[in-house]
């Protein structure tokens, strides 16, 4: 009976704590003795992105989250453009990724995302050279077109013909996984087909990304203990790590063998080259600097490209098509704009669009920017100062302070984007002259800002435009009845329950083969 009495007391205390937290109408967690704000954070972890967007306007755009007393968990979350500009540009040297970032993202190894200083500059110099090379651009254009025509279209036609409900997010992940794998390694894994085969590599990437987000909200001592014991979420990360390494190292070994035997033909070279081939065949030390193309370097570099290509672009496509399909007026304007570049002899007929055609379209570009504003593929950025500093907002930070920019919240701040910030409104990106309106990167942070601005920005826009044009012009996409749409909890902003849709052909009786 005494034991039951203790359980009743414990249950009453936990109920009181839960009621207190939930009754806190402003959503700001209580800074408890010993526990800090951790209970309030954990109870809202399932909707972390929207919660941050709700509380930051109430506290002036910056909020200091304090963890338990026995930890060094102190996180300054900000959406203030002045702070972002200070950290990412004007005082860039004092705000590297830092050793704590590298430990949280340890699965990325020593790739460009985890690097600082001279190593990061060397990574960026080499990567930018290869990504901007004419041979890679040629290869990228052909790869994207072929994958849309031979991979995406058959899947969409299959779903349309049979009246199936499909998870379009899964389709986009398969599309960008295949495309990215081809651009980086030269090999097509063939994940995008009507059979939709299981993809262990993609599953492993999803698991790793979820665990990394948990590392941001759980005290460091706890997740490190889990990692040491090999239990819980850290065990999932370890298993994912093994899968990723196995697949990537297999591609590297295959590419080394192919190049050593001179299998790649001159005809293949004329169609362009993949990034792995460029890294392995470049002997110029002035380009590669101190890098040696051993398996460790190539593994870290390849995985970084995979995350940059597969995850961000598939996330962007998912949210963009969702927004367009639920805003009929926007959809109609995009279709009208696409029709403007279609030759008069091809009206109301199935077709794919070239990169040259879609790059002329202002409204399409604006709509993509607007989707990225509301649903940035990477919903937050993480920084830490080398030396104590004071931000323009007046907040003092020190080397143990984690600084988070919430890109998801930034897109929903009225003081940044106006009273209509929650609306999907492509027109906000179009100037009075009818051209694309430039917004500073410290306000629109989807492609990063300052010296770390994404080197693949143009490539990403190109891929999104070609895929989106093919879908919007040729098919009607409608969200399946009753399907819930909400962001997931991860370092990549996907839909928690997938994107289940019904697909119908826009041009009936037209063969798309």
**Each residue's pLDDT tens digit, 87-111:** 999 999 998 887 888 888 899 888 8
Q: Which of 69-73, 126-130, 218-222, 373-377 has the lowest mean pLDDT?
A: 69-73
Q: Write out pLDDT tens, residues 434-461.
A: 999 999 988 998 988 888 888 888 889 9
Q: Determine, yes or no, domain membership for 96.
A: yes
| Domain extent for 141 | 71-505
**Of 390, 374, 384, nearest to 445 (Cα)?**
374
**How far is Cα 113 from Cα 491, in angstroms, rounded to an integer?**
13
pLDDT band at 511 (very low <50, low <70, confident <90, very high): low
Higher pLDDT, 19 or 257: 257
Q: Write out pLDDT tens, residues 151-160.
A: 999 999 999 9
Q: Determine, yes or no, domain membership for 459.
A: yes
pLDDT for residue 263 = 59
Which residues, 6+ apart, have CB-to-CB distance to 208 below 8 Å? 107, 237, 240, 241, 244
Which residues, 6+ apart, have CB-to-CB distance to 89 below 8 Å? 442, 449, 450, 451
Q: What is the CA radius of gyration of the chain?
A: 24
Q: Determine, yes or no, domain membership for 513.
A: no
pLDDT of 377 over the 60 cut: yes
Q: Determine, yes or no, domain membership for 12.
A: no
Q: Which of 222-226, 413-417, 495-499 has the lowest mean pLDDT?
A: 222-226
Query: Scanning the structure block, which residue is given the tokens 């009208």?
Result: 336
pLDDT for residue 426 = 97
Find out whether 450 and 332 touch, Cβ atoms under 8 Å: no
The per-residue b/e assignment along 449-468, b for 16 or more CB within 10 angstroms, e otherwise, is bbebebbbeebbbbbbbbbb
CATH number of the domain that 261 lies in? Answer: 1.10.630.10
pLDDT of 23 over the 50 cut: no
**How far is Cα 490 from Cα 211, in angstroms, rounded to an integer?**
8
Q: What is the mean pLDDT of residues 243-267?
A: 81
The length of the chain in residues reads: 513
Q: Which of 67-81, 114-128, 180-194, 229-243 has the lowest mean pLDDT?
A: 67-81
Q: Determine, yes or no, domain membership for 432.
A: yes
Query: Scanning the structure block, which residue is given the tokens 């119908």?
Result: 504
Q: Determine, yes or no, domain membership for 18.
A: no
Q: Write out pLDDT tens, residues 264-315.
A: 543 455 667 888 998 888 876 667 767 788 899 999 999 998 888 888 999 9
pLDDT for residue 12 = 55
Find out whether 67 and 42 touch, Cβ atoms under 8 Å: no
Average pLDDT, the chain: 86
pLDDT for residue 22 = 47
pLDDT of 15 over the 70 cut: no
Q: Write out pLDDT tens, residues 55-87.
A: 888 888 888 877 677 777 788 889 999 999 999
**Number of structural domains the chain divides into:** 1
The separation between CA 179 and the C-alpha centre of its own chain, rounded to angstroms, equals 16
CA distances (Å), origin 91, targets 82, 84, 382, 396: 12, 10, 15, 14
Full DSSP string of 104-149: HTGGGTTSGGG--HHHHHHHHHHHHHHHTSHHHHHHHHHHHHHHII
**Of 296, 303, 263, 304, nearest to 281 (Cα)?**
263
Q: What is the mean pLDDT of residues 181-208?
A: 87
pLDDT for residue 11 = 58
pLDDT for residue 267 = 43
pLDDT band at 198 (very low <50, low <70, confident <90, very high): confident
Tokens read off for 107: 């699965």
Full DSSP string of 178-194: HHHHHHHHS------ST
Q: Determine, yes or no, domain membership for 198.
A: yes
pLDDT for residue 150 = 93
pLDDT band at 327 (very low <50, low <70, confident <90, very high): very high
pLDDT of 116 over the 70 cut: yes
Q: Determine, yes or no, domain membership for 347.
A: yes
């Amino acid at each position: 009976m005494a034991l039951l009495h203790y359980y009743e007391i414990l249950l009453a205390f936990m109920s009181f704590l839960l009621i207190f937290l939930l009754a806190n109408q402003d959503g700001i967690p209580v800074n408890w003795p010993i526990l800090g704000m951790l209970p309030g954070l954990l109870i809202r972890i399932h909707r972390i992105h929207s919660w941050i967007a709700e509380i930051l306007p109430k506290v002036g755009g910056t909020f200091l989250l304090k963890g338990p007393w026995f930890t060094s968990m102190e996180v300054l979350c900000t959406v203030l453009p002045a702070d972002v500009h200070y950290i990412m540009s004007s005082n860039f040297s004092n705000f590297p990724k830092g050793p704590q970032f590298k430990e949280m993202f340890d699965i990325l190894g020593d790739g460009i995302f985890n690097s600082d200083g001279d190593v990061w500059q060397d990574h960026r110099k080499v990567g930018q050279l290869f990504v901007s090379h004419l041979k890679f651009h040629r290869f990228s254009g052909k790869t994207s077109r072929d994958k849309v025509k031979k991979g995406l279209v058959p899947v969409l036609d299959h779903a349309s013909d049979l009246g199936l409900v499909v998870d379009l997010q899964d389709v986009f992940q398969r599309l960008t996984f295949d495309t990215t794998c081809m651009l980086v390694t030269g090999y097509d894994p063939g994940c995008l087909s009507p059979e939709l085969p299981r993809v262990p590599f993609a599953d492993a990437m999803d698991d790793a990304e979820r665990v990394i987000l948990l590392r941001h909200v759980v005290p460091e001592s706890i997740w490190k203990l889990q990692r040491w014991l090999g239990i819980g979420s850290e065990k999932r990360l370890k298993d994912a790590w093994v899968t990723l390494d196995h697949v990537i190292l297999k591609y590297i070994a295959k590419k080394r063998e192919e190049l050593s035997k001179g299998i790649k033909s001159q005809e293949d070279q004329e169609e362009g080259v993949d990034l792995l081939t460029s890294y392995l065949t470049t002997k110029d030390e002035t380009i590669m600097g101190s890098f040696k193309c051993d398996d460790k370097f190539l593994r870290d570099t390849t995985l970084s490209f995979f995350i940059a290509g597969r995850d961000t672009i598939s996330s962007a496509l998912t949210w963009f098509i969702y927004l367009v399909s639920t805003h009929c007026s926007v959809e109609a304007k995009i279709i009208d704009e696409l029709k403007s570049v279609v030759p008069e002899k091809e009206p109301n007929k199935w077709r794919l669009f070239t990169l040259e055609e879609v790059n002329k379209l202002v409204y399409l570009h604006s709509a993509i920017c607007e989707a990225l504003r509301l649903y940035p593929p990477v919903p937050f950025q993480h920084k830490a100062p080398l030396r104590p500093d004071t931000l323009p907002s007046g907040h003092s930070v020190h080397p143990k302070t984690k600084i988070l920019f919430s890109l998801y919240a930034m897109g929903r701040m009225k003081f940044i984007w106006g009273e209509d910030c929650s609306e999907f409104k492509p027109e906000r990106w179009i100037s009075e002259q009818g051209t694309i309106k430039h917004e500073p990167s410290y306000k629109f942070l989807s492609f990063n800002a300052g010296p770390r601005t994404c080197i693949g920005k143009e490539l990403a826009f190109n891929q999104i435009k070609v895929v989106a044009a093919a879908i919007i012009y040729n098919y009607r996409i409608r969200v399946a009845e009753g399907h819930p749409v909400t962001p997931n909890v991860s370092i990549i902003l996907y839909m928690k329950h997938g994107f289940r849709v019904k697909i119908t052909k826009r041009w009936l009786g037209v063969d798309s083969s």
